[in-house]
Structure 1
Amino acid sequence: MKKIIILVLVVALTVGVLPLWHYLKANKATPEEVFNEYVRQFSQQNYEEMFKLISEGDVETYDYTKKSFTEKYHAIFSGIETSSIEVLSKELLYEDDSETYKGLFKVKINTFLGEVSASYQTFFKEEKTKDGKEWKIKWNPSLIFAGMEKGDKVSAQSFLPQRGEILDRNGNPLALDKDVYEMGIIPGKLGESKEAEIIKLSAYFKIPEQRFRQALDQKWVTEDIFVPIAVMPAEFQPESLDEDLPGVYFQTKRIRYYPEKDRAAHLIGYVKQATSEDLKKDADHVYTSGDYIGKSGLEQVYEKQLRGKKGGIIQIKNEKGEQKSILKQVDVINGKNINLTIDAALQSNMYEAMKQDAGAVSAIHPLTGEMLALVSYPSFDPNLMVSGMTAEQWKAYSENPQLPFLNRFSSLYAPGSTFKAITAASGLTAGTTFPEKKREISGLQWRKDNSWGGYFVTRVKEASPVDMVDALSYSDNIYFAQEALEMGAANFEKNASTFGFQEDFQLPIHLKKSQLSNDGIENEVLLADSAYGQGEVLMSIVHLGAAFTPFVNDGNMVMPVLIKEENNKPIDKPVISSEVASTVQKALIQVVERGNGTAHNLKTAKEVLAAKTGTAELKSKKGEDGKENGFVVVFDTKSPSILLTAIVEDVKNRGGSHYVTAKIKPVLDQYLTENE
């Protein structure tokens, strides 16, 4: 036996040149040329062209026509979701004794289960034609896959993994797979007047008529087949129907379900069916049409861990359906659960407290950094993202002026007077601020000198003299503006920036980057405004909450964490001295304890609370009438267990920050009672 060198045919692809097969046919193709062309057409899955190269007599022996032959190949290789066939090797051998040619080639087939290696051997025969003799491939079923015989079939089964759950700190599910009912229609049982029944069903289920019509107009629909229309709410039971509805049937369907609904939507996110764009980006061929993929929130961030890995089997079966051989088998790997530090009960209670007002709440354990709640209001029901929204539902969300799709706990806000605690700590660190130092301040307006033009710093309460504790208790803007000017921009920026402005908190949620200024504090007016949390200062409420943890932890800022892991150790960074932290904490306690303190309405017998409130004006220029956002940061000091940060938008003429403290007080009191 000796090897024949394989010829690589190069045919110029110019206008008027015949297709390659016609070229071969016209020039009495050699076995080498036929073999090369057969392998090429197979690797490109051009089964019609491949058919031209094989002996039709052999094909007829196995009861195939050209049509059924190509359909067979298409069915098998599309059934295993072949994305490509790569030729690994090929050679043509000549047997001297029998004067026959034998072609050997190996390929790598990329399927829904990954790579499948296959080896083939071909033999050749000369057949008489009207033009003389032509070399043809001798075909048999083993040229589909080795070992196949007449009547054999290729069977492909996919085993889907169970998607991991997202759980709160107590093991309560925030995202899970759940069996629900899907409502559908059997067209033949709708009755004589199908149009009238559609109108009736549309009104009964509050589903647009168009959805019924589009579903029933699909090409595959027949009179006796179940046609899915809509996934029903998780709590729905068919027995609850109070009318006879001809043609309506229900079947169970497993979907992704979010028990907290809108209360945790911005945090948990949702899944949706993979789009054509998703499939194009899927270089590893993980997804196929109909698969669900995380589209936002933690569902998207932890998609790889949650989804698991598909399993399946590609096998050859005989006519009786018995297994002959396995081409590829992959065990299914279920997705992993994601355990959060979130307290679902606190999350739900805070969301309910925020209702009617746009805003956000974050709660963190001030000693461990564990995030206990992350609330954004208003929100949306992620279950509708999975099952599909009606046009009316989408319109209601998209036209809501409070922007329910906006994630407010990751957005940036001017923190207002809550920032004064950071300014106080910065001044104490710089040695320019002292608790006992008093400033003589008269009136409700102040400016340094005429160089400020018509710009004034204002305050809401007239008092003099004023010390640091006074200024924090009733929130004196003028006091802190003067302290910042004495400190100087360099010291202010240096000390304030240590409170997390340089941090990438590495949370699995998107947080916009906070800032002290756009491009440095380069004038006195900006420095004065920055001292009480306006100017160009912007922070997320997650960052603002973390920035208050040094006042609980002897000057160390605890990094927030969201994923609960065994042996979690708090990560903290020194920001201020323990003496400065203690001094500021004592002052913040007076914000609650003093009768004129801005957070006095939070006072409780359950704990000694420390807090700072604030409002931030939103206007493009001085003197105009703008909106106000209200803030509060509050934590327990005896046995620290929670540090809560809240913002409510547009509190002007509604009580300012007092409106915010009144909203959160019942939930805070309940939490402190339950965690005594």
Structure 2
Amino acid sequence: MPPPIRLKDHERDTRLIRSRMLFGGAALIFLTMLLMFRMYYLQVVQFEHHSTLAENNRIHVQSLPPTRGMIYDRNGVLIADNRASFSLTLTRERAGDWEQVLDSIIEILELDTDSRELFEKRIRQGRRPFEPVPVMFELSEAQIARVAVNQFRLPGVEVAASLVRYYPQKEHFAHSVGYVGRINETELKKLDPINYSGTHHIGKTGIERFYEEQLHGQVGYEEVETNARGRVLRVLNRVEPISGQDIYLTLDIKLQEAAELALDGRRGAIVALDPNSGEVLAMVSQPSFDPNPFVTGISFKAYGLLRDSLDQPLFNRVLRGLYPPGSTIKPMMAIAGLDLGIVTPSTRVFDPGFFQLPNHKHRYRNWNRYGDGWVNLDLALSRSNDTYFYDLAHKMGVDRMHDYMTRFGFGQRVALDMFEETAGLMPSKDWKRSRYRQPWYPGETLILGIGQGYMQTTPLQLAQATALMASKGKWIRPHLARSVGGLQPIIDADMPADIVLRDDKNWDAVGMGMENVLHGTRGTARKVGDSALYRIAGKSGTAQVVAIKQGERYNRDKVQERHRDHALFVAYAPAENPAIAVAVMVENGESGSGVAAPVAKQVLDGWLLDDEGELKVEYQTTERSTTEVRR
């Protein structure tokens, strides 16, 4: 039987429709009220907040990096300049796929793959958000035009004008002035994020690094209005940055060039000081390098050539080179012996060509194997007699030797504003016990007395010790800055104590021995002294690079060039009124008196003689008799 047909209930359908209409109307009213409440909340309650956000989208604060201070030599010759340059910058947050953008830059500018790696390295380095990063410097007009034409392919890329550090003297002051380079991630964490906002370079070496705070200056800023693409429409407010302070150095470019010319392309180092003020007049480390590529980013290939060169052009021999001082320390040894009362100027030692410790067969040979006979202090200095100083070192002992040599600055940093300086090494019994866990042997004291063995010095330390001889013990630390911003650069709050002797006449006794090195009839460098227009006090030195077996003689033909002895010479002049002290080191030069002494004289001439080759008026004094003085 079929089911009954259900009749339509109109009242029920009407109630259902009415209830749905009421629910829909209530929902509509609720949503309308919710929307109105939200609009009220956003436009009234949070008006200031959103208006600020909108304003920030339109107005931006941009950093204005300060202009870096200039660096000049003592006569006002420009050494470090700021040169206008157009650079290519990329803002990673606005570039989207920035790696693709880099590929487009390489394609548009037709650059090599090394440039691509360098650009990517710069982008990945630490930086602040939305900060444009320079990826390429010194754009040519053609490159700028190519970027402009292809701007639609380079989102986040802009051509910006900026000042870039430039060193017009190139390699002449690379090791003293140093250079600036890009800020790395480690440096970024230590720097003031506000003051270095917008700055991409920082001093890396030399004066550029030591006086970074003074050279950098104070950052400025400007408020600008931008459009939706970030393009600046107008400047609303501007606070000018404060430029860095200019620095005048103690270096003299003419003397610097004269010193470089004197080395004549050989590996070595020269330091010239004013013993009366501590000013560094010349500072040469050869070979050198052009610091300009380091400013904008040196290529991997170019850096590899410098880094891997056997001649080590990046190595600062003046401050970091460690060499045995050889016989150049004999004047300081003589001062110690006289002041301790171990010897007097008339004390004589017989030299048969060697020295032997009591009850020992080993012979410590003099450079003159035939011996000099009876030798007093004056002859020992002028002849550079090793036997005399073996005997003196044996009587003095290593402990007292260590104490006196450290008073001359050996084994410690002596400079005031050269952070790269190495302390060197002045050995002692305690040092050897701590370093090697071995006792100190008497033979080690002997060779230490002639500047061999464990002792290691820098050319700067030798120059300072020579300046102390010239000033008769008056300590003034060597420094490169003459003035910073027109003011005295640094006040030395930790000045070492002056070397005060029991009898000041001992300075004159040793000084006369140093004069006779160049002006005495038996002086080792008398050929150099004979050609001088003034009196020079000096001392030659020859430092072994490799040891020679007992009984053997040095044969240069059997020794590799880089294993030959180093040539050293220290001097001050004019001897009666010192105005300059010089230390010369010629790597593998073999002869201190034959190679290094003529170099030192050329440097002295460069400071003491005028353009006509005559002694300058201020250095003309009553000359001493050139007759050799014996005591």
- TM-score when scaled to structure 2? 0.70
Greater shift after overlay, 269-278 or 571-580?
A: 571-580
Equivalent residues of 2:473, 2:500 under 8 A apart? yes
Amino acid at match of 1:456: Y
Indicate the residue corresponding to 2:334 in structure 1.
424
Larger CA deviation: 555-564 vs 621-630: 621-630
Q: Residue 608 of structure 1 aligns with which residue?
A: 535
Of residues 37, 57, 65 in structure 2, which corresponds to 1:160?
65
Q: Cα offset for 1:587?
A: 0.8
C-alpha distance in structure 1 between counterparts of 2:515 and 2:170, whole Å: 37
Structure-1 residue corresponding to 2:514: 588
Change (3 A) 1:393 1:436: same
Tell me which residue corresponds to 1:402: 311
**Residues 646, 145 of structure 1: CA spacing in aligned structure 2 closer, same or farther, 3 A cutoff?**
farther
- Name the counterpart of 1:651: 589
Q: Are residues 1:459 and 2:352 paired?
A: no
Equivalent residue letter for 1:439: V
Name the structure 2 match of 1:554: 472
Alignment of 1:470-485 (within 5 A): 470-485=379-394
Contact 1:274 1:289 survives alignment (8 Å): no
Selected match of 1:179 from 84, 94, 115:
84
Seq. identity, %: 26
Residue 346 (structure 2) pairs with residue 436 (structure 1): yes
Mapped partners of 1:419, 1:182: distance in 2: 53
1:96-135 paired onto structure 2 within 5 Å: none
What are the equivalent positions in structure 2 for 1:337-352 lying under 5 Å apart? 337-352=246-261
Matched residue of 1:492: which SS? helix
Instruction: Answer yes or no: is the 8 Å Cα contact 2:270–2:584 preserved in 1.
Output: yes
What is the aligned-residue RMSD (CA, Å)? 4.2
Alignment match, 1:539: 457
Does residue 138 of structure 1 match 2:46? no
Stretch of structure 1 that moved more, 342-351 or 403-412: 342-351
**Counterpart in the other structure of 1:46:** none
Give distance in 2, aligned partners of 1:540 and 1:585.
Answer: 22
* Residues 400-442 of structure 1, C-alpha deviations (whole Å, 9 max, x = no match): 1011111111122211000101111111101122222221121
C-alpha displacement of 1:133: 9.0
In structure 2, the residue matched to 1:379 is 288
Question: Helix, strand or coil for the counterpart of 2:213?
Answer: helix
**Residue type of the partner of 1:278?**
E
Q: Secondary structure at the match of 1:360?
A: strand
1:357 equivalent among 263, 266, 270: 266
Q: How many aligned residue pairs are there?
A: 509
Change (3 A) 1:136 1:647: farther
Q: What letter matches 2:462 in structure 1? A: L
1:78-129 Cα offsets, whole Å, 9 max, x none, are xxxxxxxxxxxxxxxxxxxxxxxxxxxxxxxxxxxxxxxxxxxxxxxx9669
Q: Quick one: which amino acid aligns to residue 476 of structure 2?
A: V
- CA distance, structure 2, for counterparts of residue 408 and residue 216 of structure 1: 33
1:632 aligns with 2:558: no
Task: Give 1:503 shift.
Answer: 5.5
Distance change in 2, residues 1:523/1:145 (3 Å): farther
| 1:278 correspondence with 2:195 | no
Alpha-carbon separation, structure 1, partners of 2:240 and 2:253: 34
Q: Which amino acid aligns with 2:251?
A: I
For 2:586, give the aligned amino acid: V
Map Cα deviations across residues 619-641 of structure 1 (whole Å, 9 max, x no partner). Answer: 36755965311111011123422
Q: For 1:308 and 1:597, how far apart are their aligned partners in 2?
A: 54
In 1, Cα distance between equivalents of 2:488 and 2:119: 56
CA distance in 1 between partners of 2:224 and 2:299 (Å): 43
Q: Distance in 1 between matches of 2:64 and 2:399?
A: 62
Say if 2:466 and 2:582, in contact at 8 Å, map to a contact too: no
Deviations 1:216-236, CA, capped at 9 Å, x for gaps: 999x9xxxxxx996648xxxx
> Displacement of 1:265 after TM fit?
0.8
Q: Which amino acid aligns with 2:49?
A: L
* Pairing partner for 2:499 from 566, 569, 575: 575
**TM-superposed deviation, 1:252:** 7.5
Matching residue of 1:98: none
Equivalent residue, structure 2, for 1:332: 241
The 3-state SS of whatever aligns with 1:335 is coil
Distance 1:422 1:656, change over 3 A: closer
The one-letter code of the counterpart of 1:459 is: W
Distance 1:407 1:147, change over 3 A: closer
For each residue in 1:254-291, what CA deviation from the matched residue of structure 2 results, as whole angstroms up to 9, or x when unmatched? 31011221121111111112234433443544334661
Cα distance in 2 between the residues matched to 1:131 and 1:247: 51
In structure 1, C-alpha distance between the alignment counterparts of 2:75 and 2:598, rounded to whole Å: 28
Matching of residue 296 in structure 1 with residue 222 in structure 2 = no
**One-letter amino acid matched to 2:579:** S
- Structure 1 residue identity aligned to 2:517: V
* 1:366 aligned residue: 275
- Structure 1 residue runs of 5 or longer lacking an equivalent are 1-125, 185-197, 203-207, 221-226
Q: Is structure 2 residue 604 aligned with structure 1 residue 668?
A: yes
The answer on whether the counterparts of 2:220 and 2:241 sit within 8 Å (CA) in structure 1 is yes
Contact 2:468-2:475 within 8 A present in 1 as well: yes
Q: Give the AA of the match of 2:499.
A: V
Counterpart contact for 1:176–1:257, Cα < 8 Å: yes
Name the SS of the counterpart of 2:597 in structure 1. helix
CA separation of 1:668/1:289 partners in 2, compared to 1, >3 Å: closer, same or farther? same
Using the TM superposition, give the Cα deviation of residue 464 of structure 1 relative to its aligned residue in structure 2, in angstroms: 0.4
Tell me: CA distance 1:381–1:127, structure 2 relative to 1, closer, same or farther (3 Å).
farther
**1:347·1:375 contact (CA, 8 Å) conserved in 2?**
yes
Q: Give 1:265's aligned residue.
A: 174
Q: Does the 8 A contact of 2:269 with 2:317 survive in 1?
A: yes
Contact between 1:557 and 1:572, CA under 8 Å: does it hold in 2?
yes
Are 2:579 and 1:641 equivalent residues in the alignment? yes
Question: Residue 546 of structure 2 aligns to which amino acid in structure 1?
Answer: K
In the TM superposition, 1:461-540 aligns within 5 A as 462-501=371-410, 504-509=413-418, 510-517=420-427, 519-520=429-430, 522-540=440-458
Q: Is the 8 A contact 2:402 2:427 kept in 1?
A: no
Q: 1:216 to 1:400 in 2, by over 3 A?
A: closer
CA contact (8 A) 1:497 1:516 kept: yes
- Give the C-alpha shift of residue 446 in structure 1: 2.5
Q: In structure 2, how many angstroms separate the alpha carbons of the residues matched to 1:556 and 1:322?
A: 62
Larger helix share, 1 or 2? 2
- Separation of aligned partners in 1, 2:429 and 2:138: 52
Q: Matched residue of 1:440: which SS?
A: strand
SS at match of 1:178: strand
Structure 2 counterpart SS, 1:436: coil
SS at match of 1:574: coil
Supply the AA of the counterpart residue of 1:524: P
Equivalent residue of 2:479, what SS? coil
Listed as ranges, the matches of 1:142-221 within 5 Å are 142-144=48-50, 146=52, 153-179=58-84, 209-210=112-113
The structure richer in strand per residue is 1
Q: Which ranges of structure 2 fall in alignment gaps of 5 or more residues?
A: 1-29, 90-105, 124-133, 149-158, 433-439, 553-558, 611-615, 618-631
Report 1:307-318 matches (<5 A). Answer: 307-314=216-223
The alpha-carbon deviation at position 515 of structure 1 amounts to: 2.9
Whole-Å separation in 2 of the counterparts to 1:596 and 1:378? 35
Cα deviation 1:632-663 (Å, max 9, x = unaligned) = 101112342211101111123xx454111233
Relative distance call for 1:179 and 1:432 in structure 2 (3 A) is same
* Counterparts of 2:57 and 2:293, CA distance in 1: 45
